[in-house]
Structures are given as structure tokens and as C-alpha cells.
A and B are shown apart, each in its own frame.
Chain A
Amino acid sequence: MELGLYTFGELTPDPSSGRAISPQRRLRELLAEIELADRVGLDVFGVGEHHRPDFAVSAPAVVLAAAAARTERIRLSSAVSVISSDDPVRVFQSFATLDLLSGGRAEIMAGRGGFSESFPLFGCNIDDYDDLFTEKLALLLELRAGERVTWSGRHRPAIDDLGVYPRPLQDPIPIWIAGGGNMQSTRRTGGLGLPLALALINTRASRFKPIAKVHRRAAAAAGHPEPPLSVNAYGHIAESTAAALDDSFEPFATTVNRIGAERGWPPLTRADYEASAELDGANFVGSPEDVVEKILYQHELFGQRRTLIHFAIGSLAHDEVMRSIELFGTEVAPAVRRALGPRTDTATEQEKERGGAG
């Protein structure tokens, strides 16, 4: 199994001063986090895209390009690229460039976007939410499939036999689809033979088990080999369960409750948070032993080929995030690999399985 982490690059208050962290400082810290993840042998680092004042990253490929120059082995992914409101040609070109700069370590995680800000910003109508994603994903897959493209759709000017450059080093550059448990989109992802990055949010992990089944069955029904599944969820690792909960609850609750207030969610309680850290809870919060146990438990549920942990939600101090990454790489990852055998490189697998879409 591949193990890694992802972040949205939040700009929440510095816990020591109460003042918001500057974007410059957050990005500097983020690059240090990616470097450490590479150094301790983690497999993947993902960076999200947001267009709000509380996040430092709206251009993941730029951040990942800086990380590419400082890292050797770790794979560099968006988490996610909001292709619904972006131009797939520019997304493809940016990640193809990242792939060349990083020596073939780039990946695109394509998503619909969990926030609405990017739609009016880029002239897209949020009422076309599903249609935008479906159409732009189709174009992205065509761009990946060949360098000259002829394409037309409703939401972007047509392309008439034009070349799109540079071409990435990897053929094909991995494209994952981010999903949260919607049946139709999971079926479409499986039907296209594409890997699914499944976000476990707000409920017990075991409730997501049918999603993995729907994804696999849709791929099989369409004649594709079984596409990889990634399980993605929030986490924080500390020396003990109690320390992990104590360190992370306030930052997590502050952020979740701020976003929840916009969406009408009830406030998160400490009891909810502790439940989410239990074995069938979605979050990877605990000691290294807790997190190993949970990854192995989820592997029994889902058979996933990749687990990505969201480090960190809220204003967790940078040194605590660094310690968490260190524990993930030096204690959790070796134990998971001992239990499950050598890691499966999903990018190499995809190259072998070129029967998939694109």
C-alpha cells in the first residue's frame, strides 16, 4: 500500500499568538512538511486548491513544482484540482510540466470542488456543477490520451486538431477522481476505469464499504481491470492517543465549526471527535499504533491501494505537524508495510493497465 498525506494549506491563527499565519509563512512551512515527508519515506503528498482567504493554496501545481525541486522520491499530487471551474488544458499543461520537473512524480486528483468560490471567479455557473465536471473530465482524459486534440463541448471553446504541450514524462500521467460517496459519480468513475480517491468524512468508515464495491463492479462491468482506490481522511499522530486528541481537537473543531456555520452543521463536540478516532471512526487521530491498526482495519474493509491522511486541519503548530509526519513515516509506514507487504506503486500499475480510460 502507498501511504501519504495531503493538506489544503490553511491560514488559520497561530496558536501561540492568535494572529493569522501569513501566506508566505504557511507556504514556507508547507514546503518543509513536503521535504520531511519525502525524507521519512512517505509515498505521496497532495496539495488542495481553494479560493478563499483562509487557505494559502489556489495554485497547487506551483507549490508542488517548488516541492519537486526539494524532493527526490515522493509523488506530488493535487488534492484536488477543481477541474469543473478550471480549464482542463491548463491543468494538464501545469501537471505535465510538474511531471517533467519532478522526474515523473506528478499526479492529478480531479474533483468537483467542495466550495463554491471558484465558480463565479472563473465565470462558471454553479447550477452546471455536474455537467461542468463531466464535460471537463472528458476533455482532460482526451488531452492525456494524445497530443493532438479535436474536441467540442458546452462549457469551453472548441479545439480543432491542436497540439497540447509539453507532454508529461509518465504515460499516462495518473488521474484520480476525488469522491465523497455519491453513487452515480462513483459508478461513472469505475465505468471509466479511473482510480477513486474516496474521502471518509463525518461517519463511520464501514459505511463507505459499498462505495468501494460500486467502484470495482462498475469497472468490471465496463471491461476495465480493477482501478486503484485511495482512502483519504483527516488525521494527526502523536506519541499517545490522548496527546493526539488533546493537540488536535481545538484546531480541528475551530475550523470545522467555522465552515459548518456556513453550511448549517451542528457544532463538533469533543465526544464526536473522540468517536471519529475510534477504530471504525473516519479520522486517523491517535498514537502510531492506533493509526497502524486503523489503516489495516480499513484495508480489510476496502482493499485500498493507497491511504492519504489530511495533515492538518486548523491551526496545529508547525512543529506538531512535523512530528506527526515523522511518526507517520518512521513508525506507521514501516509497520503497515511489514503487515501488508511491499508497497504497490499505483502509477506503474496504471501504466501496465493502459486498458483504462485515456
Chain B
Amino acid sequence: MKDRIVECIYAAVDEVNLDREDEPPLEKAPETPIYGEASTLDSLGLINFVVAVEENVEGAFGVPVVLGDDSALGRKPSPFDSISELALYVEELLGEEAGG
């Protein structure tokens, strides 16, 4: 499941990079920071990315997940610290859905 989640996230990285004409592309690597001082995404870029991941995950697993709500954004460590943290968070959400 983890590999499919990472594929969903990398596909979202590709989508976001299409919109980043004048900026360096976001790297497809586990340690890539998604948001915060270390990231190159601005707030609209983050929303674009989050919506793309949500749609890709729903398309791949048939389950809607919400990644940009208060619980995700208030969580420590943040799911947006890196792609690997986000993958873990998505896995957790999908596990919760599967567990009812």
C-alpha cells in the first residue's frame, strides 16, 4: 500500500511542477519538504498539491481522504514536513477508513 501512496504523491508533485514555470521543481524524493521554511511551495502551491494528492488517493483506493483540515495542519510532526511523513499520514487515514 505504501508504494501506491507514494505513487499518488509523486503524481501530485508532477502536477504541481507543471504550474511552477519560474521556480525550481519540487523533487520526487522522500525527504522533500512540502510546506514550511524549507519548502519552495507557497500557500496556493500547497493547496494545489494537497488537492491533487487527495484526488489521486481517492482515484487509487476508492476512498476519500482529507489532508488539509485542522487535524492534519495541527499535527506534530506535521504530515507536510516531508513526502515520507505525508505518505505515513495517508496510510494512517486509509487504515482508519478500512477499520471503520
Contact = CB atoms under 8 A, between A and B. Distances in A.
Given A183-B50, A184-B73, A213-B51, A207 B68 contact: no
Interface in B29-73: 43-48, 50-52, 54, 64, 66, 68-70, 73
B97 interface: no
A255 to B, nearest CB: 23
Consensus secondary structure, chain B interface: helix
Contact of A214 (B45, B47, B70): B47
Given A184-B69, A184-B70, A221 B64 contact: yes
Contacts of A207: 19, 44-45, 48
A181 B44 contact: yes
B68 A183 contact: yes
Interface in A176-231: 181-184, 186-187, 203, 206-211, 213-214, 217, 221
A353 to B, nearest CB: 22
B68 A208 contact: no
A183 B47 contact: yes
A210 B47 contact: yes
A329 B68 CA distance: 39
Consensus secondary structure, chain A interface: helix
B57 to A, nearest CB: 13
Contacts of B70: 184
Given A184-B69, A221-B66, A210 B48 contact: yes
Nearest to B48: A210
A183 B34 CA distance: 15
A213 B15 CA distance: 15
